[in-house]
Every structure is written in C-alpha cells, then in structure tokens.
A and B are shown apart, each in its own frame.
Chain A
C-alpha cells in the first residue's frame, strides 16, 4: 500500500528566509511524487513532480524538491520565502508497482510566511 506523511501541521518562516516543508512516503517500488499548493477556497495547483532522473526537481514559483530514496523523503524547498507563498501544501505519492493509478495525498502543511 502507498502512503505519505507530512509531519508538520504548520511551518512558520520569515519573509526572505529559506523554507522547507517535509514529506515522507512509503511504497513498495519506485515512487511517483508530487507537490501541490492550495489557496483558501480553491482547488489544488500542481507545483512539481518526481518521476525519475535527477533527484532535485524544480517547479513553479521558485519551488524545488529533493528526492531522497534512502530516507524515503521528498521535501519541498524554496531559497527565499514570500508572504504570498502562505498557503496549504500537499505532498502526494503514487506507487506504479502497486498497480493503482490513484495518487494518495498527505494531510497537508500550512505554510505561514511572516513579513
């Protein structure tokens, strides 16, 4: 079975500082990993994905994420946070070896960027 965990309900960071939002996963094979962002009363917007290849993937709005197979992690990062980055962030995983086409989402992490 595939699962994903976001250990922090909330992350607080000052504007201009680097940010990290953590995600760990569990799959039987090699994972497909995704990050999404959700603003209030809106749907989820795709940020970036890891399917294969370079462990560091770059996405929208200056975000990047690093795939670490040994630690089963896919943390979201940004070198310099903006107040406008404040939102809910969701990590998702899909296990192709498991035979399902359904991404499983984490509970989400609320990112608050203080001016």
Chain B
C-alpha cells in the first residue's frame, strides 16, 4: 500500500498521560500536514512540514503539542499531559510540489484519540 499510513488507529488514554502518534507519508511527498477533526467539524490545521523543516504552526497547537519529522520522512505528533478536550481524530496528509508548485493532499485514515 503506497498511501499515507497512521499508527495507531485508535488510542484511549487517561487524562494527564502523554501520547505519540506516527504518520508515514507517501514516499515521494515532501510536504506533510497534521490536522485535527472533531465531530461535526472540518479538519483544522495544526502544523506543516516541508521536508524536515516545520514551517507553519497553528495557534491551536499549544505548548503541550509537539511535532517532528526527522530526515524528512515519517512524522510524529506528541501530546503531553492530555486533556479531555484533546479527544479528536488526528489526521495526517502529504503532498508533493508537483507541476505548478502544488498537488492535492492525500490523507491517512487518522488516529482517533479518546481521553478519559
């Protein structure tokens, strides 16, 4: 399968615990995005990487959230001291520069986080 892969698909954690999610983008894609989606809402942008550089971060991304993309390949999103409000679907997407500078983003299946 050559699509975007996310792991785990589901995560239940107790409030206050740390969690880490992994995203493996499509191999030739240099751009990687993290979004968060809650019920009844569209995806909300969290952060963006071009290769290994984190170029944009949303104001939604509090200091409890950190993301990395070492060597410009897979990415991890860590949430420290989880809160119930962090419960959501976390989506990863990737895209390539393509002709004209941009192609569409392809999404993974998402990681559903439930904080109890």
By a CB distance below 8 angstroms, the chain B residues around A102 are 33, 45, 48, 56
User: Roughly how many angstroms separate A103 CA and B106 CA in the complex, as a whole number?
Assistant: 12
User: Roughly how many angstroms separate A43 CA and B43 CA in the complex, as a whole number?
Assistant: 10
Chain A: interface residue count, which band?
20 to 34
CB contact list, B51-77 vs A, under 8 A:
55-56
Q: Do residues B55 and A101 form an inter-chain contact, with CB atoms below 8 A? A: yes
Q: Knowing A32-B102, A43-B108 are in contact, say whether A104-B45 is a contact too (CB < 8 A).
A: yes
Question: Using an 8 Å CB-CB cutoff, how does the interface string of A73-91 with B read, 1 for contact, 0 for none?
Answer: 0000000000000000010
Residue numbers of A with Cβ under 8 A of B are 32, 34, 36, 41-46, 49, 51-52, 90, 94, 96, 100-108
- Interface flag for B42 (CB, 8 Å): yes
Q: Do residues B109 and A101 form an inter-chain contact, with CB atoms below 8 A? A: no
- B108 to chain A: closest residue by CB: A43
- Interface flag for B85 (CB, 8 Å): no
User: Roughly how many angstroms separate A57 CA and B25 CA in the complex, as a whole number?
Assistant: 27
